[in-house]
Structure 1
């Protein structure tokens, strides 16, 4: 349930802000941007950068 909420919030931030991936990662409580990248890619099968480019 928590992972689903983090994923939902990360998609919103990637689509509706100009924050870089590190800023999004830290705002969601990830200590390292690489951990956020791994989490996002594991759940979406795409990197956060690629997701943002798909706008």
Structure 2
């Protein structure tokens, strides 16, 4: 899930919420918390680093 999330963050213009729903999370907040727990950074920072 993390590698797919990173790819979507870097290669699409989808919002973090849209990515969360696409990956099966019921709430974007759960996705943010899961992502931060696994990677040590928030999804938005991954996207900003790629720009």
TM-score normalised by length of structure 2? 0.95
Aligned-pair CA distance for 1:37 = 0.1
Please tell me the root mean square deviation across aligned C-alpha atoms, in Å.
Answer: 0.4
Q: Does 2:4 correspond to 1:33?
A: no
Moved over 4 A (4+): none
TM-score normalised by length of structure 1? 0.89
Aligned residues: 50
* Structure 2 unaligned blocks of 5 or more: none
